[in-house]
Amino acid sequence: MNIKRYMIKDTSENILSKLDPSERGDFHSKEEAAAKMEKLKERLAELQDILFAQKKHSLLVILQGMDSSGKDGTVKHIFSGINPQGFIVTSFKKPSLEEEAHDFLWRVHMKTPPKGYIAAFNRSHYEDVLVPRVHGSLKKDDMKRRFRYIRQFEEMLVEEGTTVIKLFLHISKEKQLEKIQERLQDPTKHWKFDASDLQEREYWDDYQKAYEDVFRETGTEQAPWYWIPANHRWYRNYLALSIVVKTLEGLDLSYPKLNSPTPDISELISPRH
Amino acid sequence: MNIKRYMIKDTSENILSKLDPSERGDFHSKEEAAAKMEKLKERLAELQDILFAQKKHSLLVILQGMDSSGKDGTVKHIFSGINPQGFIVTSFKKPSLEEEAHDFLWRVHMKTPPKGYIAAFNRSHYEDVLVPRVHGSLKKDDMKRRFRYIRQFEEMLVEEGTTVIKLFLHISKEKQLEKIQERLQDPTKHWKFDASDLQEREYWDDYQKAYEDVFRETGTEQAPWYWIPANHRWYRNYLALSIVVKTLEGLDLSYPKLNSPTPDISELISPRH
C-alpha cells in the first residue's frame, strides 16, 4: 500500500472534483480487504504498545469531512482494537460559551496527545476556518491569520514530538444524500440525523472550495493532508488504518531498555525453606 | 506616572546591571505612595468591572523574577481589591509528569484568560527557557525554537484579543539574601523557605544573563517586558499596579449598551391594587 498516493500535494482549484470518492484501490471486493484489515489492526495494536512504553512520540490523527462522510465510523473501525489507556478521542462540537471566549486553538491544544499516546480529533480547529469561509463570517485578514496560527501551532506540535496526520474523508454529494436517507429510515440511526446537515448541504460547493483552501494553506510536509475516498466504507477504513500504521512504522519506535544492569532475581525465585 | 520609562527596549548585554533595583521614582517615602496606591486600586476595580461586562478584551499579566523577588506579594497587593469572579491566578511550579509529557505551552495555554477576564501568571512558560539556559539542559537550536514558539503564541493571544504584559521584578543580590534570612527567622515565613533557592542563588549571574536573552528574544511591541525595581516592596507594588491600570486604560473599554430599545417598565413598578 503506497499511502503517498493519497497525500494531497496538488492544491490547484477544483482539485477535489478530480479525486474519485468511489475509488477502492486494487481491491475488487470488500471481502478481499477484510483479511488485510485484521492484520493491520493487529499491527496497530503492536505499534501502539511500543509507542506507549517508549513515551517518546505521540500521534495526532485529525479527521475532517462533509457531514455523513463517516468520521465517527472511521474512528470506531480503525481504533477499536487498541488499548484505550493510550488513546484519546475528542469530538469537537459547536464551541461552548467558555470555549468561544478563548482563542479557537485553546480547546484543541488542551486535547493534544501527551507522549506515548494516540489522539483522534473528530472535527477540529479546521471547522474554525471552514465554516467562516463558507458563511463569510470572517474578514479575509482574519482568515489569513487563523491559517497562520494553525500552521505555527501544528509545526510546534510536530517539532515537539507529535506526529500529525490529517485525513479528509471524501464522499460524493449523491452518497451523502443516500446516507442521510439511511439515517431517516433506520431507527438505529435516527439519532445521527440533524436537520442542519440538510441546510449545510446546500453549501456543498462552497465547502469543497473551503477544503481546497485548507489544503493549500495548511498542507505541509510535516503535517500533511491525505484524501480518503469514502464512498465505500470498507475502503475508507482500510485506507485510513493503513495510513495510521504506515505513519507509526515511520517512527523510530522501540521498547525502552532497562536503565541499570539486569538484576539477578534467582534469589527471589529460589525456595527459601 | 510614565510607565514607558520602565518598558525594556534596550536589550544590550549587562543591561540589568544598569537598572537600579532600589529606584523609587519620585517618591521620598512609602507613606507618600500609600494614598496614590488606594486610588489606583479603586480605579483597577472600576476598569475590571467594565472589562468583565464588555467581554471584548482580556488581560494577561506575567510575573517573573528571581526567587524572593516578590511575585507572590505583588499578586496579593495589586489584585486584592478586584472582583475574584473575573480574575484567575495561576502559579506554575515544577511541571507534573502529565505536563511534562506535553509541549511546554500546553499547561500555559489552558490558563490564558477568556474574554472579560484578567489572568496573572506567577512564573510562566519563561521558566522553560530560563532554567535550561542556566543549566545548559537544552541545545542552542532547541532554545531558539522555544523562543520562536513563545513569540508566535503570544502574538496569537494578542491578535485574538488578549493584552499581554510581562513584569520582571528586579531585586539586587543583597536584597535576596536579606529576604532569605527573613524567611529563616520569621516563623510566619518559614513555609516560604526552600533550600533549593540557595542553590539557585549560586547561578545569579547566569540567571541575569538568561533574563537578558529573554528580553531580547521575546520583548515585542505587542507583548512588552517591563522591569520593576523591587528592592522596595511598596514601590514595586505601586509601579506594577500603575502598569496594569495604564494598560487597561489604553483599551477601548465601555459598558455594553442594551441591544433593544429600553423597555417601558413603569407598568412593572406601578401599584397593582
CA B35 to chain CA centroid, nearest Å:
23
pLDDT at residue B271, rounded to an integer: 62
| Helix (H/G/I), strand (E/B), else coil: A157 | helix
**Element spanning B65, H or E:** strand B58-65
| A139 contact residues in B (CB cutoff 8 A) | none
Model pLDDT for residues B56-93, shown as the tens digit of each residue = 999 999 999 999 999 999 999 999 989 999 999 999 99
- Is residue A61 classed exposed, middle or buried when 0-12, 13-18 and 19+ CB atoms within 10 A define those classes? buried
User: Rounded CA gap, B153 and B160, in Å?
Assistant: 11
Residue A7 DSSP class = B
**Average pLDDT in chain A:** 94
Interval A68-97 mean pLDDT: 95
Name B88's Cβ contacts closer than 8 Å, sequence gap at least 6: B111, B113, B117, B118, B119, B120
**Average pLDDT in chain B:** 94
The answer on pLDDT for A273 being more than 60 is no
- Asked if residue B180 lies in contact with residue B198, where contact means CB atoms within 8 angstroms, the answer is yes
Place of cell 528580553: B215
pLDDT at residue A190, rounded to an integer: 87
The secondary structure of A197-254 as a DSSP string is HHHHHTTHHHHHHHHHHHHHHH--SSS-EEEEE-SSHHHHHHHHHHHHHHHHHTS---
A156 and B112 within 8 Å at the Cβ level: the answer is no
User: Rounded CA gap, B26 and B29, in Å?
Assistant: 9
Q: Domains of chain B by range and CATH?
A: 3-253 (3.40.50.300)
Which of B160, B163, B164, B222 to probe by mutation at the A interface, max A CB count within 10 Å?
A: B160
Nearest Cα of chain B lies from the Cα of A217 at a distance, in angstroms, of 17
pLDDT at residue A196, rounded to an integer: 86
- At residue A145, φ and ψ (nearest 5 deg) are -60, -45
Which chain A residue shows the shortest CA-CA distance from B156?
A149
Which chain B residue shows the shortest CA-CA distance from A158?
B103
**Element spanning B61, H or E:** strand B58-65
Nearest C-alpha neighbor of A147 from the set A212, A200, A94: A212
pLDDT at residue B41, rounded to an integer: 96
B110 and A115 within 8 Å at the Cβ level: the answer is no
Name B161's Cβ contacts closer than 8 Å, sequence gap at least 6: A103, B56, B57, B58, B115
User: Rounded CA gap, A129 and A186, in Å?
Assistant: 33
User: Rounded CA gap, B249 and B44, in Å?
Assistant: 9
pLDDT at residue B273, rounded to an integer: 54
Q: Is ipTM strictly over 0.85?
A: yes
pLDDT range class, residue A195, cuts 50, 70, 90? confident
The answer on pLDDT for A96 being more than 90 is yes
Work out the number of other CB atoms within 10 angstroms of the CB of residue B145: 16
Work out the number of other CB atoms within 10 angstroms of the CB of residue B204: 14
Nearest C-alpha neighbor of B116 from the set B258, B257, B251, B260: B251
